[in-house]
Structure 1
Amino acid sequence: MFHQAGMHGFHFFPFPIVLILLLIIGFLIARSYGYFAGSSPAKTTEPEQAKSSNSEALDILSRRFAKGEIDEEEYQKRSQVLRLNL
């Protein structure tokens, strides 16, 4: 009765191996498209550049506020925009 399935009932033996290989391939493809943190070198360099430019902009904004060139309301608005774009 079980001999009709071939290999004594183990005809689905390669299925777990194929499933694991498909999962590994899927993981590698997803990682190459950047679905996992730290996978893309371009993403790691952009925030550093954004932080340096935003911190420089915040320094300039603080100096302008300290000199009296802008009022407190304008300082708050602009600093909030810069902090949101970090």
Structure 2
Amino acid sequence: MFHQAGMHGFHFFPFPITLILLLIIGFLIARSYGYFGGSSTASKVAPEAPKSQNSEALDILSRRFATGEIDEEEFQKRTQVLRLNL
């Protein structure tokens, strides 16, 4: 009875394997384009660590020195005070 179907009734055997292989290949291609949590540029960007108050103060101090609001002596004194209080 199954002998006439070819391969003794297992003529459908390659279809599931082919389907599974196509699904795996499709998944790998989709993942390479960033779907399914794969590698994308947005996920590679590390979250920025919160700045401490001293580093913010040093940034402000550097900007004030760069714009000429304070002179070099004042900048050195305030920088030294901020670094001692880290």
| TM-score computed with the length of structure 2 as normaliser | 0.48
By relative contact order (CA 8 Å, sep 6+), the higher-ranking structure is: 1
Higher percent of residues as helix: 1
What TM-score does the superposition give when structure 1 sets the normalisation length?
0.48
Larger Rg: 2
